[in-house]
Chain A
Amino acid sequence: MLKLTLILLLGATIASATLINEEVSRVIDLKAHLVKISTTVTLKNDGASSVSSFEYSVEPSHAKQLAYISVSQGGEGGESVNFKLTQKDVAKKLFSVTLPKKLDAKSSVKFVVEEVFAGALSPFPKEISQSQSQLIIYRGNHFYYSPYQTVSQSTTVELPSNTIESYSKFGNPSKEDSVIKYEDSTEFENVPANSQNAMKIHYENNSPFLTISKLTRVVEVSHWGNIAVEENVDIRHTGSKLKGSFSRYDYQRQPNSGASSVKSFKTILPASAADVYYRDEIGNISTSNLYEKDDSVDFEIRPRFPLFGGWKTHYYFGYNLPSYNYLYSRGDLNAIKIRFVDHVMDEQMVEDFTLKVILPEGSKNIKVHLPYEAKREKDELHLTYLDTVGRPVIIFTKQNLVEQHIEDFTLTYTFNRLLLLQEPLLIVGAFFLLFFTVIIIVRLDFSIAHDKMSEARMRVQGVIEKVQSEQAKRDGCYKAYESAVTKFKATKDHSAFSQSRRSIEKDHKEATNSINQLLSKLREDAAEAAERGGIILQPKKVEISRLIQDEQIKHRKSGKRGMKKGCTIVNIQEAFNVHTVDEYFKTRINMVCCWWKCFKNKQ
């Protein structure tokens, strides 16, 4: 027991004997729903040896509400240097601060401690009616709470308005407009270590007391050039609760009605944000405005209904970012650098935060560099359009985040660029499969019974197609013949003409022969089919009569043409005409006769 006291005493003497807070000036900002304390401390090493670190302890009554703390030096002119903080006692929020360079004996160092407390303000009365203003109580400490002795100190409390119900009068403070100063009093000189004296300020604060009870941020990275961000927000008004009725009439007509309620607030999105949407479970929320500025996109969010004390709402919004601003890659190695938590509203306070980063399918070797500690949850898989094995999802959670936490984090991973082709190939493959199946079904015969009729029909169809192509050839011959005739008319070169005529006639003969062959084949086929039970030629009949009509018209036309030309070279032309017309009709009529016969037989 004695030993323990001795050690304690020793510890205390070492701590208090060597370091002294020479001068402390505190600014307590109570304008919003967060308490922001900025303390400028001049710390002097009064001991004999130099020290490399000192202790900093958060005021015990607010230790649980601490959301952010930083200790930094300088700032005036030069870069500010952040000191390293290590937590010694989690519950009491006792920190050990490492100085950038050792503090020699009898020398001093000046630094600034920034603290943000969430939920340190409590409304009183707890319930107000719509016409009342919101009154808030702040309970703090008149003294700077420190494990060291403080020589001189001053405290400035900044309030949002002049309306102050009451404030503690310890040390005879001065009040000017909305600022209360605790200074220049003997009470504030040579205050021993760890001393406390209750400060209480009861004042009007109508600033939005909004707390984001849950924020889920989803960042979906695509190597096709887009990063999609979606934020899911649950908001609660944590000020004085609304008592009694909400009157829309008063709210619309009386200017001071519902002073503490929140109609709208502003979310600042990155400057390159596009395709912004704002929705909730039941659809689009139409009450919002978007202002594009040079360095940001200001998104004015108006919830469906004004938020009074105790009311809550839920919504989500999202936008797309071009990936070239945030995604860096060298070979297969990629790095994404984007904000860990982003701005939702001014003076924001997030109780429960989840960040989900969805990486492209096939990303590996994922490494993370966070600006501050956060808990990494188990990875998940996300399956959406054109995914096969799923996209890896990296999840982080963290509690109590404020505006000061808006910082970038970096995530590196490897991604094979060839995998980019996977999605288009999937689509191509799917369509190929579809068409292929259709081709298979249409082209192949899956029927169990043997259908002779349709087979014969298909055969006839094939022959007809061949005949048609031969006929096209013959058409070509006629055209060539005509052009040869015209040429002959112009040049009167008989030998050239007869030469070309011979070759054309040869072609023509070949074509005619093959047509005749085909026709005879067709005749056989048709006869066979007719024997076997007949072919249905009804659709064909129409087609053939159409064909014949076409031919007739054509012949009438070409015949007329021939007559005109015939004035000069009657003999050739006439021979040609007779020959062709004859040929045409013979073959055509043959075909028709044959089909008619088949058709009749069938019937």
Chain B
Amino acid sequence: MARVGIWRMSLEKQDNLLKMLVLAICCILAFSVRLFSVLRFESVIHEFDPYFNYRTTRYLAEKGFYDFHNWFDDTAWYPLGRIIGGTIYPGLMVTAATFYNVLHFFNITIDIRNMCVFLAPLFSSFTSIVTYHLTKELSNSGAGLIAAAFMSVVPGYISRSVAGSYDNEGIAIFCMLFTYFLWIKSVKTGSVFWAILCSLAYFYMVSSWGGYVFLINLIPIHVLACIVTGRYSHRIYTAYTTVYCVGTILSMQISFVGFQPVQTSEHMGALGVFGLCQIVSFVTYLRSKLSPSHFAILWQTMLYLVGALFVGAVGFLTFSGKIAPWTGRFYSLLDPSYAKNNIPIIASVSEHQPTTWSSFYFDLQMLVFMFPVGLYVCFNKLNDYNLFIILYGVTSMYFAAVMVRLMLVLAPVMCILASIGVNHILKTYMKNLDNVVVKDKKGRVKTDNTYPAKNEIATGVVVMMTVFLSLFATHSVWVTSEAYSSPSIVLSARGGDGGRIIFDDFREAYYWLRHNTPENAKVMSWWDYGYQITAMANRTILVDNNTWNNTHISRVGQAMASTEDKAYEIMRELDVDYVLVIFGGLTGYSSDDINKFLWMVRIGGSTDRGAHIKEADYYTPTGEFRVDADGSQVLQNCLMYKMCYYRFGQVYTEQNKPTGYDRVRNAEIGNKDFELDVLEEAYTTEHWIVRIYKVKDLDNRGNPRT
């Protein structure tokens, strides 16, 4: 009564206000916790892929959608080029450019870079709202609020969505959860309206991330599980057939996806379940019309016939090439060792490595052990949509264990299931808290013999949960600030006097390239730096992070792994003007090109033209990879080694150590005194992290300079 008196609000309104308040706080938290890198460094795009996205977004904002769609980029993959419009998921760029244009229409002249930097935090806020709604549909609004709070700070998601991490995943998680929410809605209502909305959300998802394949497999699995467990209903039939038909047609409008949804094996599950739905409905219909014995005969005949036809058709289509063969990335999902054994370029990416146990705890903390609680609660009162979240949890758990980057897909379901668990526990015990103490006539407290210390236990559990939850928040913020907020383009280190030293060598080198090389200069570097060079240095590069042409990358790998004269031939063949390498030996920056060099050797040796490059040659006879005097001679005379260590042999890096002491490998380099014949040092950054070499022209007589 008193509250009503003060606020003049009914309980319902208070409830709404409270929910909105909590959600608003979640949104603000989700946005602000991701700003560490902006506050510590600056509003800058991070890492590698985001630079490409940023560059294309700028192009889209400047030139409009049609130019963007028809864009042939001749500054990448020289001399092949790349059709940008047909080889990307444009959702991210279109989203950012739309925001940008709308804001500019209202004269809010925000810089396109800032738009890109802050897009991921913005979408994280949206994600926590969507998580609330999804969980509310699955359980209740209490769990929804907890899930929204979890979602706003869970490190597994933050790792891909800090300010500046302008990548597909930033908005894709939002799209994915939104699609799930609408899917649950349409399963619940069985209405075409929700199903259409769901397929629109699915279209947005397809346009923004390749991970949509997970989604288009999960929904059919859910339908299949419903069929198998006897939960199949007309509602599910309506929902699925609508979503599948409309969604597939819409998804084929993305030119990068094209006809894949009806051709490749990843999408066949959805098609199969779609067919199965029709059959099941038909069979149910027949069963209601025929007598049981007649039905049994018909059933068996049809089963064999259809089975044989189906296997035959699939086999025929696969062999005739209509159905694309199982791609490598998919195999590596099912069999973690597949990629490592067969496709070096996939295995070379660190985020394609299997997840370790510690990183589960690091990224999810208390969610790891609240997840089974949530699963238990869901199983306890199983229904159509709880079944969905269980399936989502279990499958994504498996995929996350296969590949580190799929932790991202696991994080939301962890949040949802853990919140259901936490909500259940709190709800159970909170009730016991305001247990009115009943006194008997003599003034003694009556105790319930069947449940002693009810109040105390409840208090204990609630306090424990509070501690866990606050620890989770602390941990998340700590992880965000320590592990996920470095832009990686600017490095920082603690100096001897405790001050902060900034290594801005990457931008120094890229900016030098941008202003002091001819505009049509071709730069050769390992593919990791391709996107950054095109975006920041604005120069043509040979290979980049869109690793679509294995042989081309292999050719670059061969040049890096060969001796100078062999490499010169390759570089002349590829028209290379400048070569760029990353070298951490002076500063101790460990992800440099020498540490990546074995991948170059492997990828270089994986094609026919590089058959002479054998990984074993680069090891010592005992099978070690060493850069010091004991290391292999082949290694010490290859181009990469020479470019990294050119004149490094004269440098003192640490006290009490000889010259040329590599601080990453902790070794004195073996080949100290050499000159370069075919290259000359064009630029080396202040801390030697980036070294750029110019390829010498042929001499006056047209002979190579070796």
Q: Which residues of A contact B (CB under 8 A)?
A: 244-249, 280-287, 304-305, 310-314, 383-388, 461, 464-465, 468, 471-472, 475, 539, 542-543, 546-547, 550-551, 554
Contacts and interface: CB of A to CB of B under 8 A. Distances in A.
A383 B511 CA distance: 30
Interface in B192-239: none
B109 A383 contact: yes
A550 B1 contact: yes
Interface in B665-706: 680-686, 688, 694
Contacts of B5: 472
A230 to B, nearest CB: 13
Given A305-B683, A547-B1, A284 B511 contact: no
Contacts of A386: 107
Given A383-B109, A543-B12, A313 B511 contact: yes
Nearest to B2: A550
Given A280-B511, A312-B515, A313-B511, A245 B109 contact: no
Contact of A304 (B10, B512, B651, B694): B512
Contacts of B1: 468, 471-472, 475, 547, 550-551, 554
A396 B413 CA distance: 60
Given A283-B44, A304-B507, A304-B508, A539 B682 contact: no
B510 interface: yes
Contact of A283 (B507, B514, B685, B686): B507
Interface in B339-361: none
Given A283-B507, A285-B504, A543-B10, 8 more contacts: A245-B682, A280-B511, A282-B536, A283-B42, A305-B511, A314-B515, A384-B107, A468-B4
B107 A387 contact: yes
A439 B75 CA distance: 53
Interface string B485-510: 00000100000000000101001101
Residue from the set A282, A287, A546 with the largest chain B CB neighbour count within 10 Å: A282
B11 interface: yes
Contacts of A286: 490, 502, 504
23 contacts: A244-B680, A245-B681, A245-B682, A245-B694, A246-B683, A246-B684, A248-B684, A281-B514, A282-B507, A283-B43, A284-B41, A284-B42, A285-B504, A287-B504, A304-B507, A305-B683, A305-B685, A311-B512, A385-B107, A385-B109, A387-B107, A542-B11, A554-B1
Nearest to B436: A553
A247 B4 contact: no
B516 interface: yes
Interface string B507-551: 110111011100000000000000000001000000000000000
Contact of A311 (B109, B502, B508, B515): B515
B516 A311 contact: yes
B108 interface: yes
A475 B2 CA distance: 11
A549 to B, nearest CB: 10
A468 to B, nearest CB: 6
B241 to A, nearest CB: 28
B650 interface: yes
Contacts of B4: 468
Contacts of B536: 282
Interface string B14-57: 00000000000000000000000000011110000000000000
A246 B691 CA distance: 11
Interface in B256-307: none
Contacts of B41: 284
A246 B681 contact: yes
Contacts of A546: 11
Contacts of A246: 681-684
Contacts of B685: 248, 305
Contacts of A542: 11
Contacts of B650: 249
A555 B694 CA distance: 92
Nearest to B489: A283
A427 B358 CA distance: 50
A-B CB proximity, top 8 nearest? A248-B684, A245-B680, A245-B681, A284-B42, A304-B508, A384-B109, A249-B647, A283-B44
A546 B682 CA distance: 80
B42 A312 contact: no
A304 B514 CA distance: 12
B8 to A, nearest CB: 8
A304 B107 CA distance: 33
B688 A304 contact: no
Nearest to A468: B4
A461 B12 CA distance: 11
Residue from the set A284, A314, A461 with the largest chain B CB neighbour count within 10 Å: A284
Given A245-B682, A245-B694, A249-B650, A313 B515 contact: yes
Contacts of A384: 107, 109
B591 to A, nearest CB: 21
B502 A282 contact: no
Contacts of A285: 504
B683 A249 contact: no
Nearest to A251: B684
A310 B109 CA distance: 36
A285 B694 CA distance: 26
A385 B108 contact: yes
Nearest to B681: A245
Contacts of B44: 283-284
Nearest to B692: A246
A312 B41 CA distance: 26
B647 A304 contact: no
A307 B414 CA distance: 53
B601 to A, nearest CB: 27
Interface string B634-660: 000000000000010011000000000
Nearest to A553: B436
Given A246-B682, A249-B650, A304 B504 contact: yes
B6 to A, nearest CB: 11
Contacts of A248: 681, 683-686, 688
A542 B504 CA distance: 62
Contacts of B504: 285-287, 304
Nearest to B509: A305
A472 B511 CA distance: 73
A554 B2 CA distance: 11
A311 B514 CA distance: 11
Contacts of A314: 515
A317 to B, nearest CB: 14
A284 B41 CA distance: 9
A381 B43 CA distance: 28
B508 A461 contact: no
Interface in B103-123: 107-109
Contacts of B11: 542-543, 546
A542 B14 CA distance: 14
A10 to B, nearest CB: 58
A546 B4 CA distance: 12
Contacts of A543: 10-12
A312 B651 contact: no
Contacts of A245: 680-682, 694
B151 to A, nearest CB: 26
Contacts of B42: 283-284
B633 to A, nearest CB: 25
Nearest to A305: B512
A471 B515 CA distance: 80
B507 A247 contact: no
Contacts of B694: 245
A246 B513 CA distance: 13
Contacts of B686: 248
A128 to B, nearest CB: 15
B681 A247 contact: yes
Nearest to B684: A248
B691 to A, nearest CB: 8
Contacts of B684: 246-249
A38 B680 CA distance: 46
A472 B508 CA distance: 73
